[in-house]
Amino acid sequence: MGTISKRCVLIFFCLFTSDFLLFAQAPQAIPYQAIARNASGTAIASTAVKVRFSIRDSIATGPVRYQETHTPTTSALGLFSVNVGAGTVVSGSFAGINWGKNAKFLQVELDPSGGNTFTNLGTTQMMSVPYALNAGNGLANGTANNQIMYWNGTAWTRLNPGSNGQTLTICNGVLTWTNGGVCPSSVVTDVDGNTYQTVTIGSQVWMKENLKVSKYRNGNAIPTGLTDAAWSATTSGAFAIYDNLAANNTTYGKLYNWYAVADPRGLCPAGWHVPTEHDWQLLTKFLDLSADTTIVNGASSFSAGGIIKAISSLWTSPNIGSTNSSGFSAMPGGFYEYFGFSFNDIGIGAYFWTSTGISTTVATSRVLNYSTASLFQNQPDKNHGYSVRCLKD
């Protein structure tokens, strides 16, 4: 019959993947057909041959997870047909293969004389069959109409149907039905006992409310009630409340100088931090792919501001571009101007510190305004009083 080389067998899989997926339990075998030819290209006809199959893990030379042999007799045209998974087991268990973990490769070896002197005919990655078999390996039936089954990284999981108009969204790595793509809120508590709703935007989790805390994370009080001169001169943390009205603290939170933001005792609750310049850039780019996050002291996005502004009568009309489709819910809390010793822009603008300092006197921030949908980056003096939003670590 001549010597068998790697080019002597024409291999083709018969992968009835769609049929596999129609059943709760997939057939535990993979149909395989090939034509055996000798080195001169002549079919090895009507001959008992021996074929060895090895299923390797991860890469073509990876560990053998399963191995079996078959002894088919070729047809007059050299054709033979076998079912991989139904042969004589050499090692491993076909049913025990974890098709859902790592790529799988099928190695085929042939001895045309029917013995155990095998010639390696090559190794090919298995593309469709592992998914079909994995569907039959632990994929439970649904229990409700329109239920979705998805792989959560370790197991197949049922997701019940959502309601009309809901959007399927990844929230903290989990598929979730949401309203308008806004992930459900959770609650975080600061050292004073104030609670804050949160929202997931892209890969980030933000507080939906401005910080109100009066103490650092370790319980030390943050100074307040400073005179104008003391506020202007300090390089330590301090806060003020707009017009010194408790109602403004409730609605808009406190206005902190940048030194409170940078204090190593921590302004945000444990597990949270004041966002950096880079954190704000990530948010901006997620909201607006066309955003230019290299902008300094200008509009880095012409739409992201509207996406994070709350739809509220507290914003001065017309509150241009406001959709709050992100769920960030920015409110117009204004700011404290250290050199004029005055509170400004309540109802008009929202001002947020980043934790990124530029020089000994200047840091970066983000600004929103009722008259535009833009999101601005600016670099104010560290002694201004701005709002703070916390970001989960």
Burial letters for 329-355: b for 16+ Cβ neighbours within 10 Å, e otherwise? bbbbbbbbbbeeeebebbbebbbbbbb
Q: Which residues of the chain have pLDDT under 50?
A: 1-26
Contact 274, 356 (CB under 8 A): no
pLDDT at position 7: 40
- 3-state DSSP: the chain helix, strand, coil percent, rounded to 5? 15, 35, 50
- How is 138-176 classified by DSSP, letter by letter? T-PPPSSTT-EEEE-SSSEEEE----TT-EEEEETTEEE
Q: Rounded to the nearest 5°, which phi and psi values hold at 304?
A: -65, -30
Per-residue model confidence as pLDDT tens digits over 88-133 = 999 999 888 887 778 899 999 999 989 999 988 889 888 755 555 5
Compute the distance between CA of residue 321 and CA of residue 353 in angstroms, rounded to an integer: 22
Backbone angles phi and psi of 261, in degrees to 5: -60, -40
Residue 290 is given by DSSP the state T
Contact 341/231 with Cβ under 8 angstroms? yes
Which amino acid is residue 326, in one-letter code?
S
Enter the DSSP assignment of 242.
G
pLDDT given for residue 167 in this prediction: 80
Q: What is the pTM of this model?
A: 0.57
pLDDT of residue 22: 33
Write phi, then psi, for 257 (nearest 5 degrees): -75, 170
Instruction: Return the sign of the alpha-carbon dihedral for residues 251, 252, 255, 259.
Output: positive
Which residues, including other chains, have CB under 8 Å from residue 325's CB and lie 6 or more apart? 180, 181, 182, 307
Strand arrangement, sheet containing 298-301:
298-301, 375-378, 363-369, 349-357
Distance CA(95)–CA(28), nearest Å, equals 7
In this prediction, residue 1 carries a pLDDT of 38
Q: Long-range contacts of range 284-287, CB-CB < 8 Å, 24 or more positions apart? A: 284/375, 286/201, 286/202, 286/203, 286/204, 287/201, 287/326, 287/375
Tell which residue, 358, 235, 383, 367, has the closest CA to residue 300.
Answer: 367
In the prediction, which pLDDT does 132 show? 53
In sequence order, the 6+-apart residues with CB closer than 8 A to the CB of 356 are 276, 277, 278, 363, 364
Residue 148 confidence (pLDDT): 80
Return the CATH architecture of domain 6-135.
Sandwich (2.60)
Range list for CATH 2.60.40.10 in the chain: 6-135
Distance CA 184, CA 162 (A): 14
CA distances from 277 to 231, 356, 364 (A): 25, 6, 7
- d(Cα 327, Cα 199) in Å, to the nearest integer? 6
DSSP H or E stretch at residue 278 = helix 277-287
Number of Cβ atoms within 10 Å of the Cβ of 284: 24
